[in-house]
Amino acid sequence: MQNDEIPPLGGWSEAELDQAFAAVAREVEEWASGLRSAEDVEQFRLHWLGRKQGRLKAISDAWLKSAPAEAKKQIGQRFNTLKAEIERRLELAGAGSAGNGLDAEAIDVTLPGTRRRLGAEHPLIRTWNEIVAVFQRMGYSVGVGPEVETDYYNFESLNFPPGHPARDTQDTLVIAGQERKPLRDRLLMRTHTSPVQIRTMEQQPPPVRIIIPGKVHRNDAADATHYPIFHQVEGLCVDTNITFGDLKGTLDAAMKAFFGSSVKTRFFPSFFPFTEPSADVQISCPFCGGTGCRKCKHSGWIELLGCGMVDPAVFGFVSQKQPLYDPSRISGFAFGMGIDRIAMMKYGIGDIGLLYSGDLRFLEQFA
Ligand code: PHE
């Protein structure tokens, strides 16, 4: 209704005034109940209370002008009531919309919230955690070291002398621009977690029981079983009177804890520059129980890790910084295994690249 369409008052009796004001009050009420947004509220306010063109002012002007002096007080009182009602409505609407800056219609507290999709542990990380947990329960603590290593920690202190052919087995990725440094200081991507053995012993006197999970790098072309990045778990135990029997008992117990108590282990002679004697460890196939299946290539056994007694030459390097690593007084064993291979075996993953692909179709299978 336009302001110029103000209905004239029918008469000045209280009943007639009540009726006229009730009609306006209904109009206010109807409009106020439809207020949704901050803009709605502002329009409502301007329409009714606007100083120049407000409808309330227009009605008041029109009705008061034509009223006899006796009726003016009655009309004035009713205008005050009406104005108070409009202001109350504004306040209510403002609290729901303009007041908090949000549209009243945008908030429906009964709607379900936006669900966050829960992530799942990556199969590699899950395997990593499970292996670490097995050794933590045996009293080992967790150690870490840098992925960018020096030649000294990755090779020399582990008894790989410069030019030793065993270095060639590691397909090392070297950092560019290191040629001017002495060989021992040149940087490379660590090819195994074994350098953390040395770093740990340099930091603490014996005894040591430490488990070292981590990422390693080799210059391998990617195929179904190789990737330039992979992961190892390294173990090191050093104390007085540590024997090869301790090594066998520890690894046997760990393999049973990880794969199941019916799994058996067997040890074969091997070679690593930093252990002497060295061994490769096989476990009886946890999938077929040793009778032969695809996973164990029908041999009943799976080769899983390398290990050995810490070579006295390694203690020799460490004792330059920690003299308590005296090979005539202490001994120790170390072992290392590939996490990726174990995860692939456990979950039946045929291509190592899947672990690094970020492909959700692959990863969702582990959720
Ligand atoms: N570092 C060795 C490798 O990467 C594994 C190993 C660790 C062997 C500890 C013996 C003792 O092949």
Of 154, 190, 232, 339, the one to substitute when testing ligand 1's pocket (max ligand atoms within 8 A of C-beta) is 232
In this structure, the answer to whether residues 86 and 140 fall within a common structural domain is no
pLDDT score for 1: 47
Ligand 1 centroid, distance to 92 Cα (angstroms):
74
Does the structure show a pLDDT above 70 at 101? no
Pocket of ligand 1 (CB under 6 A): 192, 194, 234, 272, 275, 306-308, 334-336
Residue 304 backbone phi and psi in degrees, to 5 = -125, -30
Helices assigned H by DSSP within the chain: 14-33, 38-49, 55-66, 69-96, 123-137, 151-154, 195-203, 244-259, 312-318, 339-347, 354-357, 360-363
For ligand 1, atom 2, the nearest C-alpha belongs to 336
For ligand 1, atom 10, the nearest C-alpha belongs to 307
DSSP result, 50-106? -TTT-HHHHHHHHHHHHS-HHHHHHHHHHHHHHHHHHHHHHHHHHHHTTTTTS-GGG
Higher pLDDT, residue 112 or 339: 339
In this structure, the answer to whether residues 243 and 293 fall within a common structural domain is yes
pLDDT score for 113: 85
In this structure, the answer to whether residues 205 and 350 fall within a common structural domain is yes
Kindly report, residue by residue over 182-220, the tens digit of the pLDDT.
Answer: 999 999 999 999 999 999 999 999 999 999 999 999 999
**Single residue among 70, 105, 140 that ends a domain in this structure:** 105
Domain membership of residue 112 (yes or no) is no
In this structure, the answer to whether residues 190 and 45 fall within a common structural domain is no
Ligand 1 centroid, distance to 335 Cα (angstroms):
6
Highest mean pLDDT pick, 58-67, 82-91, 111-120, 295-304: 295-304
Q: Are 173 and 219 in contact (CB under 8 A)?
A: yes
pLDDT score for 99: 46
Kindly report, residue by residue over 292-320, the tens digit of the pLDDT.
Answer: 998 899 999 999 999 999 999 999 999 99
Higher pLDDT, residue 144 or 19: 144
Q: Residue 168, class by beta-carbon neighbours within 10 Å (0-12 exposed, 13-18 middle, 19+ buried)?
A: exposed
Query: Which residue type is seen at 213?
Result: P
pLDDT band at 104 (very low <50, low <70, confident <90, very high): low
Ligand 1 centroid, distance to 313 Cα (angstroms):
16
Of all atoms in ligand 1, which is nearest to the CA of residue 158?
A: 1
CATH (domain of 327): 3.30.930.10
Kindly report, residue by residue over 113-126, the tens digit of the pLDDT.
Answer: 888 888 889 999 99
pLDDT score for 95: 62
Q: Are 312 and 327 in contact (CB under 8 A)?
A: yes
In this structure, the answer to whether residues 45 and 161 fall within a common structural domain is no
223-237 average pLDDT score: 97
pLDDT score for 230: 97
Domain membership of residue 184 (yes or no) is yes
Ligand 1 centroid, distance to 337 Cα (angstroms):
7
What is the pLDDT of the chain when averaged over all its residues? 91
Q: Report d(CA 107, CA 104) in Å as an integer.
A: 6
**Angle, alpha carbons 188-190-194 (nearest 5°):** 140
Ligand 1 centroid, distance to 181 Cα (angstroms):
27
Q: Ramachandran region of residue 270, left (φ > 0), alpha (ψ -120 to 50) or beta? A: beta
C-alpha pair distances (Å), 127 with each of 27, 52, 123, 218, 233: 71, 76, 6, 21, 10
For ligand 1, atom 6, the nearest C-alpha belongs to 336
Quote the domain boundaries for residue 46. Answer: 3-105
Kindly report, residue by residue over 21-31, the tens digit of the pLDDT.
Answer: 888 888 888 88
